[in-house]
Structure 1
Amino acid sequence: MVSTTRPQRVRDRTRAALMSAAIDVLSDNAAASMGEIATAAGVARSTLNRYFPDRAALTEGIEAFVEAEYEEAVRDARTAEGSGLAAYLRIVDEMIERLDTLGWWMRAAADDDFDDLDCEADRGIIAVIERGHQDGTVDTQFTPSFMVGATWSLLTAAYYDVRHGKRSRAETRDLCRRGLTKLAASPTAEVATERPGKRRRNDPADG
């Protein structure tokens, strides 16, 4: 029996490449044509049309793609492990890794309703903040909904710094993580100061 796994993976990669190119092009020029997006993706216009027959389908596809990336970031953060603060900072790291994609939402961050936190990923962040409140690692003066909004606000600043070349990508990402660490951490919590992936052993933030 011939496996269909490889062709499906190729289609998935092509779709992801189209989404990434569309986000990049439309972030600079919201009026860019389908042809310009196809050129940026390195494919023929007909290829783009096979996946997205019109602009509405493309926009819908982008929204679904970005939401999936957000949810993947929270899942990949291993939120059940360690303290609430450690889990939250892993979510931040995963979101920073997806900064270019999540930037699609960040462009309109000022218009987002952070009181309507009903998607799976939002609930994941809220859960780790609540756990951090309970285990004493996250500052209790900040509500979970405030922390979700603050997270997106600082990530938005990081996105525009990178997008407009104000700082290097590495420097901007480090500043963003440092700011969110200072904001979230309880005054009594100890957190590592190393870059992501360089935490010292037996870091108290990991509980």
Structure 2
Amino acid sequence: MSLANVLRALPGSLKNQRPSLSDILDALDERATPLVLMLFAIPAIVPTPGIPAGMVFGTALAFIGMQMAVGAKRIRLPSRIAQLRIGIEQLERVLGKATPHLEKLERRLSARLACLNTPLAIRSIGVVIFIMAVLIALPIPFGNTLPGLAVLILSLGLAQRDGIAVVAGLGLALIAGVVSTAIIGSSWWLIESFFNGPLITST
């Protein structure tokens, strides 16, 4: 079964109408870290009304990235994060929008450049995912999309052992980092200019 089909079938396997992130991980049966990364990256890209998607899923991705970086074999989320809940209808809506695009991407992937799927490479990718997750979690205007796409492409590359996709994800992560840094820098400059600008007085 393709990754897109696994995600499409996910809502039907959840018994609770407001499943927690822990319920979702259990339903995936810890099938693979890349699949969990993919699922948590999608809400950062697809608008999710009623959910602070950046904060919730960015934080979850940050913990997963840290565990990848240290070579953990089993994904665990802190209890406070694991018990966060999402409505089943919202989950279905988000996955319904995303899975057709995932199917198209999957058809282009194949196993190549195996050197980018070694344990050491995966640890390094974990560091990159952690950085992208922090950017997703930060309240940066329009700042979720590029880091979310980077994590999504990296997860697809890892799942399909496609080193070319991993390279593309790393390149997009670099662009996301530059863009986010520029946005943060510009915002800081505007704030400083506002508070430290010359006072206008009448004579």
TM-score where L is the length of structure 2: 0.31
- The structure, 1 or 2, with the larger RCO (C-alpha pairs under 8 Å, 6+ apart) is 2
TM-score where L is the length of structure 1: 0.31
